[in-house]
Amino acid sequence: MGILEVLTIVFVVLKLIGVIAWSWWLVFLPLIISAVIYVIVLTLYVIGIVKLKRSIDRDFDHDFFK
């Protein structure tokens, strides 16, 4: 569990016991930021895999087996 997830839990507890009066989207903002970071990293990973596969396919001579 990362710092953003822990921060979200802390904010939810503080909101539920009435210490903070923030709106719920602000309480869950660290979780939203974490999800966006995970999606960006996953997207970059998939793009890298696709580019690597294309590079390997391009460099490999398919006429070798003919």
Q: What pLDDT score does 29 carry?
A: 94
Query: Cβ atoms within 10 A of the Cβ of 4, count?
Result: 15
Nearest CA to 30 out of 52, 53, 50, 6 is that of 6
pLDDT number for residue 66: 52
Count of C-beta atoms within a 10 Å radius of residue 29 = 16
Report, as ranges of residue numbers, the positions in the chain whose pLDDT lies below 50.
Answer: none
